Structure formats: structure tokens, C-alpha cells
Structure 1
């Protein structure tokens, strides 16, 4: 980071993503049983559902053929992941890449990127203005 570049700041949880086998069955549980409100979801090339959790946080459900990430090649955005609100995404991406990390940009067009931690867990970093 250069001296004029702001330090990246993690601002909190944006969403958590879970892998499901069938979105219709999942919807019956998350909407019917838990009473969650469905959010609009952009077309991402695979089935899924998004739900509001309150406080600007969400739950994303991802339908994939095999939920075991060890047995299937997968992009981070189609895997279980924790999404963090970030201020200073580009500086954080540069720091991760300089440390040898592989960064995958979001296909949604949002200012967001995915990385894996040392244990293979997917982390999404979403740019948001500082509060």
C-alpha cells in the first residue's frame, strides 16, 4: 500500500451462503417454516434463492449438483461462503495477490471478489462505502 492509499476495512457480515440440493424444498423451509422474506436475485447461471435477515444482512442459498466442494471443481461464488462488507476492496485485493493469494472477481458485475482462506473456505469481499 502506498502512503496515500487508505487501509482496507472490514465493516461486517454482508451475507452467508449455504449449498442446497433443491431450491423448491429449501424455499418451503426458509419461507414456510422460518418465515424469511425472499429478495430479488440476479441471474447468475445457476439456481438459487436470496433471503433478507435484517440489518442489511442476507442468506444466499445455492443449488449445485454435488454439495461436496472437495469432489467438484467450483468457483467460490457457487460454494458455501461468508461475505464481508469491505471499504478499500482494491487495496485489499492487491494485498492478497501480493501475498500469493488467488483472487476471483465476481461475475455479477458488483465490486466484489472471492478468495479462499488457508483451509479452502471461500470468503467474498464486497465493496461498500464507509459508514
Structure 2
């Protein structure tokens, strides 16, 4: 059976440059750095709200996996592939301002709307190629 009282804790991302990745999430989504445990490798903990944290982990130099997934069906860094790919999704209250701000930073995006026409979405990548989605709040 499912764990009673289970709640979300964090998402982990491995990176060769956790400071670059932390700066991106702080700048784009307003995460704050919080105290991180002392481990045998570098880590940065980021918190956006009491219930959502990112755990950025220094990449093991011996790993053979690619840095980021790009998408579920294409190894090319194209945001058009993300609607069916692996990604984190955030909601924002002012979707159009958010999209304008990330475009002004030179971030390549793909925009679409849900079939109901109410929810707008923008897809893009973090500096390591991890898929991101931001949707309008409805």
C-alpha cells in the first residue's frame, strides 16, 4: 500500500557546475539557497517554497550518462520536443511577463496552449539541458 502521510521532498539534479545551475534557478524562478549537508561531494540545496526544494549535486566525473535528457524522443536541444519529454513544471501568475523576461535573457523557448485554450505553456531548458515548463495560472 502507499505510504500514509507521504509528501514531496525534493528533486535532484546532477551537474558539472552546480553554482551555474543554482544561479539559473535563483534568477529565473526565485529559489533561495539554504543550508546544505556536508558530503564527500559538492551539493547546493535550493528552496522555492516550504514544500519544493531542488538538490543540486556535483556530477560524478566517471558517469557515462549524458548531462541532460533534452527530451524523451530526441537528443537534440529543441524545446518543441519537451511537451512529451521529461521536465519540471512551474506556474506563474503573469505568464506573458515571464515569457518576455526569459526571452530577453536569450533563452530559446517553445510556446503552446492547451486544447481548452485557457492554459498557456512555455517550454525551455536549464543550462544543463534539463527540461522545464512554465504554465499560466488558471
Identify whether the pair has TM-score above 0.5, normalized to the shorter chain.
no
**What TM-score do the two structures reach when normalised by structure 2?**
0.40
Structure with more contact order per residue of length (Cα contacts < 8 Å, sep ≥ 6): 1
Going by fraction, where is strand more abundant, 1 or 2? 1
**What TM-score do the two structures reach when normalised by structure 1?**
0.42
